[in-house]
Amino acid sequence: MSRLVVLLGVLLWAHPAAGKPRRVVLMATAGPVVQRLQAELGAAGWHTTRVPPRERQLDLIGLHAAMSSHQATAAIALRPSTGGALDVWIVDDVGMVVSQERFQPTTLSDVVALRTAERLRAYGLRVKTTKTTKTSRAQPSARLASQHPDPELHPDLKLPSVSTHNGSESLAIRGGMQLNGGLAVGWAPGGLSPTSQLRLGGSWTPRSWLAMDVVLIVPMVPAHVANEGETDVYIALAAAGLRWLGGSARARLRPSLGAGIGALLFHLRGDATEPLTRSAEPTLVTAMPYVEGACMLRLSTHLRLSLSYLVGLPMQRLVVVHSGTKVATVDRLLLTGTLGLELEL
C-alpha cells in the first residue's frame, strides 16, 4: 500500500513546468521529515532553502523576509504542536496562508512529505488556472474561512491583519510600528553647558531594512551660561527622517544609520540682553539637518535597548550677550546622545 501511495505521488508530481526555477523556503529544524520533503520537492523541480526557526511561535513576518531574501515564491513552515503533533503551513509570496494541516505523532515521515508536496503542487495549479482562465472567485467569506486557521486549534500562530483591495481580501504582511523614548544629553560647543532632555518618537518600517522616523526632543534641565550674568537656554527639536537598519530583524544586536531634518527651538531666560545677532527676542526657531547612528540590543520579542548619537547643524546662529559682551554662541554643531527603549507593536 505504501508503495502505491509513493508511486501515485510521483506520477502526480511528474513533468514540472519549464521556465524560471521555482524556489521554496522551509522554516523548520533538521529532521527526517524535512529531508524527505526536500527530496520530494527537489525531484519536482523546486529549489529548497531551509532556514531555522527563531521563535517558538510561527513567525509569518520572519518567514516572508526569508522568502524575499531568497527570491522564493512559496514557503513551508513545520512547527511542533501539543502532544507531539506536527503543524505544517504553506504560505504564498504575499504572506497568505494557503494551507494548514496537523499531523499526528504516528504519521510516517513519507506520508507527511508526500501530502505536503501534493498540497504545494495543488496550490501552484490553482494559481496557474486562476491566471489563465480567469475563473470566478469564491466569496471572500468562504475563502477566508478556508485560509484562516482556527485560533483554538492553533494558539501559537501570529496572524497579520486582513487588508482589502479591489474587493478581495488577503492576509497581507504589513510594515511594523515602533514607539521609543529615553533620556538624552545635548551639548553645543561655544560656551553652553550640557542640557538634559527627554526624547520621544515613533517609527514605521515598510521594509525590514528601512525605517521612517519622527523625533521629538524636549528640555528637562536647560543649558546654562554664567559669565557677567546668568542665562538658561532651553533647546527643543521636532524632526523626521529615514533610517537604514542593518542585520536581521530578529538579530540580538542591530545597528542603524539615519538622516533627516527638523525644526530646532532655542528659548532664553535670564540676563541675556541680546540673545540673537540682530534681534532681542528670547526665542529662535531654525531648521537643522542631522545624521544619527544607533545600536539596538534586543531584550525580548518586542522590547529593545537603544543607544544613539545625533549630530545636527543649525542653519541660523545663536548668540548670547550679557551687558554688551558675547558670552556664548551656537553656530557649529549640536550633539545629542540618547539611551532609551524601543517597543515593537
Question: pLDDT averaged over the chain?
Answer: 77
Q: Fold identical between 2-170 and 176-344?
A: no
Q: Note the pLDDT of residue 147.
A: 43
The fold of 2-170 is Rossmann fold (3.40.50)
Q: How far is CA 192 from the centre of its chain?
A: 38
Report the half-sphere exposure of 218 (CA within 13 A, side-chain side).
5
* E strand or H helix at 216: strand 210-221
Alpha-carbon span 222 to 232, nearest angstrom: 6
pLDDT digits (tens, 9 = 90+) for 174-233: 457 899 999 999 999 888 899 999 999 999 988 888 999 999 999 999 998 888 788 899
Q: Which one is predicted more confidently, 3 or 214?
A: 214
What pLDDT was estimated at residue 64?
76
pLDDT given at position 238: 97
Q: What is the separation of C-alpha 145 from the centre of its chain, rounded to a whole number of angstroms? A: 28
Select 176-344's CATH number: 3.40.50.300, 2.120.10.90, 2.60.40.10, 2.40.160.20.
2.40.160.20
Q: Which helix (H) or strand (E) holds 67?
A: helix 60-69
Q: Angle between the 2-13 and 32-43 helix axes, to the nearest 10 degrees?
A: 40
Q: What percent of the chain has pLDDT over 90?
A: 28
Grid cell listed for 109: 515521515
Tell me the per-residue pLDDT of 284-340, one tens digit each, with 9 for 90 and over.
Answer: 899 999 999 999 998 987 899 999 999 999 998 888 888 778 888 888 899 999 999
Distance CA 297, CA 256 (A): 12
Domain ranges of the chain: 2-170, 176-344
Rounded to two decimals, the pTM is 0.51
CA angle 180, 184, 189 (to 5 degrees): 140
Sign of CA dihedral 80, 86, 89, 90: positive
Dist CA 164 CA 178 (whole Å): 24
